[in-house]
Structure 1
Amino acid sequence: MTVPEWKLPPGVSRGTWDYAQSTSVAEDYDDYHALNPLFDFEESVLREEFARPGRVADLGCGTGRALVPLVRAGHRGLAVDLSEKMLGVVREKAALENLDIECLQANLAELDAVADESVDNAMCLFSTLGMIRGRAVRRRALGHMRRVLRPGGRLVLHVHNFWFNVWDPGGPWWVVRSLLAASAPSARRREDWDLGDKYYPYRGVPNFYLHVFRNRELRADLRSAGLRVRRWIPLDVRRRHALRAGWLLPALRANGWIVVCER
């Protein structure tokens, strides 16, 4: 049954909703991303930042590909996702290895079911923050992420870089069109559109939504949520490691960033 547009949760586009409801996306997720070089690098950052065992929240966990290794290493897991299909895969993995993972179906902008200061560390990876439509709603989600962290707790984020689109086929024109649209009078712009919003076909979803960030924009959003940046890691073109010579035009050369924040 199709959910009417007005009934979609805050920050959830039609494409995001369809993606979350897809059984095939969930069942094929691990195989589809098996060779993604970003995941190995993300896991190395998580091992460094979450060195002491505790309760870790994976916000937008997918099939738990980043959470499961941490729980194997002694952490307790809280897997949060909009997709019940994805959480079903997480439950299967947890049951197979008797892992301490609690699953919660929730929208990241509506995390009231997670108590204040109830997790030691959290992560929101694979540009999940960018799947939330609307800057005000993304800021609300970041506020929830800070709220659930214990004092001193860390949040690891991954997002895509707006300016890196200049290297894609057709990307320069998309950047120019986006900048021109952003400079147009507000009466001529879509009410639900922000500079950096993209819609494109992905995994069988014809109108998948993703917001790609500018450095200054993300820093401002993190400050508004009361999160302090500890590390800002620009990623190389294939996202295998940190950008070499990161001081050289990082705004154009970084594929995206892994950001470590602290409450």
Structure 2
Amino acid sequence: MTTERSNEASYNNSAIVDYYSDFVSTGLFHYEELLIDKYFASGGKTLDVGCGVGRATIPLFEKGYKVIGLDFAEKMIMAAKSLNRAIDYRVGDILSTRFDDQEFDNILFSFNGLMLLGTYEERLKAVKETCRILKPEGNFIFTTPYLDNKTLKSYWLEKAFSLDIDVQNMTWDQQLELGDEQLEDYGSDFFLHVPFIPEIEKMLDEAGMKVLFFNTEVGL
């Protein structure tokens, strides 16, 4: 079973769906709202990738955005539709969408969703697909954890030691390996990649994107 498919099965787990259904009332995080208000075209056509049950999708809809919620977990989409049938929710994969070129004014991929993809190549493919369906003047907001502020902490040092990795002299493959995590929650297994900042910059550059804002305090 691949890491991505493992995540898909986990996000279709009823306990996880229930958790996200309870969490939906949280709405947009404060920093998300600030960035959306600053960088998103007001009222524009907006894609919420990895929308889950609609934590961010519903507030975007209420703000007047023409929003589509996209998630690969069918049960998440079913739960989202039960909460708000006025929103256009779709089951789909950001690695290969059916959207037209330059269809969206704004794209959001929140809650570390991009880093749930199992390989660097998949994450790059997702960003390239985002770039394809985003208008030239459009903006893409995503969040991610990052290793640069954690490599001196005991967990990462112990992991590096167990993998025979010198954190001061790592190869590219070792950086990727160190960032790959297998997590467990609500009886389900999850894959999450925690990148170094240069990896994020490399990925965006290869996809042809320009960074407008980056905040290491909240992982933006």
Query: Same fold, TM exceeding 0.5?
Result: yes
Choose between structure 1 and 2: higher strand proportion: 1
* Superposed displacement of residue 127, structure 1: 0.6
Task: Pick the aligned partner of 1:68 from 58, 61, 68.
Answer: 58
Give the counterpart letter for 1:201 in structure 2: E
Q: Which residue is 2:155 aligned to?
A: 170
* Superposed displacement of residue 208, structure 1: 1.4
Q: Is the counterpart of residue 156 in structure 1 residue 146 in structure 2?
A: no
Give the counterpart letter for 1:198 in structure 2: E
SS of match in other structure, 1:151: strand
Contact 2:57 2:69 in 1 (8 A): yes
Give the counterpart letter for 2:140 in structure 1: L
SS of match in other structure, 2:143: strand
Contact 2:51 2:71 in 1 (8 A): yes
Distance, in Å, in 1 between the alignment partners of 2:138 and 2:163 is 36
> What TM-score do you get using the length of structure 1 for normalisation?
0.73
Q: Is the counterpart of residue 103 in structure 1 residue 89 in structure 2?
A: yes
> What TM-score do you get using the length of structure 2 for normalisation?
0.86
Q: Cα RMSD over matched residues? A: 2.7
Aligned identity (percent) is 22
Distance, in Å, in 1 between the alignment partners of 2:106 and 2:186 is 30
Q: How does 1:92-241 map to 2 (within 5 A)?
A: 92-95=82-85, 99=86, 101-111=87-97, 113-166=98-151, 170-177=155-162, 180=165, 194-205=177-188, 207-235=189-217, 239=218
Distance, in Å, in 2 between the alignment partners of 1:144 and 1:51 is 20
Q: Which residue is 1:41 aligned to?
A: 31
Q: Which residue is 2:4 aligned to?
A: 12
Q: Which residue is 1:252 aligned to?
A: none
Q: Which residue is 1:21 aligned to?
A: 12
Structure 1's 130 and 202: CA in aligned 2 closer, same or farther, altered over 3 A?
Answer: same
Aligned residues, how many? Answer: 216
Task: Give structure 1 regions of 4+ aligned residues with deviation exceeding 6 angstroms.
Answer: 33-36
Moved more, 163-172 or 38-47: 163-172
Contact 2:51 2:70 in 1 (8 A): yes
Cα deviations by residue, 1:120-141 (Å, 9 ceiling, x for unpaired): 1001111101100111111011
* Superposed displacement of residue 194, structure 1: 3.3
Q: Which residue is 2:43 aligned to?
A: 53
* Superposed displacement of residue 63, structure 1: 1.2
Distance, in Å, in 1 between the alignment partners of 2:93 and 2:26 is 28
Contact 1:163 1:175 in 2 (8 A): no
Distance, in Å, in 1 between the alignment partners of 2:96 and 2:162 is 32
Contact 1:58 1:123 in 2 (8 A): yes
Structure 2: runs of 5 or more not aligned:
none
